[in-house]
Amino acid sequence: MPSFQTFKDLSVTFKKHPVTDDLIVIKDNAAIAQAVQSLLFTRIGERVFQPNLGSRLLDLLFEPLDSATAALISLEIKKVLTQYEPRISVQTVVAFPDSDENGFQVELSYIIVGRNDEPVAVEFFLESTR
């Protein structure tokens, strides 16, 4: 029996396994990364029967491209992940405005609860789509 916890989720692509014809399952880091992305890009009120789940992240992308909005983005990411993703412990979230690319560069670091893995560092770029 493993000494650490294993996490499994269905892939959001809903592709079927070529041999078993079952839906593809993703595990551990990939499952958590998928859940984090899903939480951050779900608007509040978007999920049926879970009206409070989600974030204001997509709305913040239409605010001024400055340090104040970057701070709000960092706070929103940390708040949402702390509240709705119990499998991780957020270490740092830093967002930087990037006026050349018209968006925000985000650096996120978290550790997986119940495992002795190294902290996971994720960098991504947020931009408004019209």
According to the model, what pLDDT value does residue 129 have?
Answer: 79
> In this structure, is residue 52 part of a structural domain?
yes
> In this structure, is residue 29 part of a structural domain?
yes
According to the model, what pLDDT value does residue 34 have?
Answer: 87
**What's the CA gap between 84 and 6, in Å, rounded?**
18
What's the token pair of residue 17? 């396994």
> In this structure, is residue 2 part of a structural domain?
no
- Phi and psi (nearest 5°) for 129? -110, 140
Question: How many domains are contained in the chain?
Answer: 1
69-101: burial string, b at 16+ Cβ within 10 Å, e else: bbeebbebbbebbeebbebbebeebebebeeee
According to the model, what pLDDT value does residue 2 have?
Answer: 47
> 10-residue block means of pLDDT along the chain (130 residues)?
59 69 72 90 92 93 95 97 94 96 96 87 89
CATH code of residue 37: 3.10.450.40
According to the model, what pLDDT value does residue 21 have?
Answer: 73
Domain that holds residue 58: 8-127
**What's the CA gap between 64 and 70, in Å, rounded?**
9
> In this structure, is residue 3 part of a structural domain?
no
**What's the CA gap between 72 and 114, in Å, rounded?**
29
What's the token pair of residue 96? 């930087």
> In this structure, is residue 98 part of a structural domain?
yes
Whether this prediction's pTM lies above 0.95 is answered by no
> In this structure, is residue 123 part of a structural domain?
yes
> In this structure, is residue 1 part of a structural domain?
no
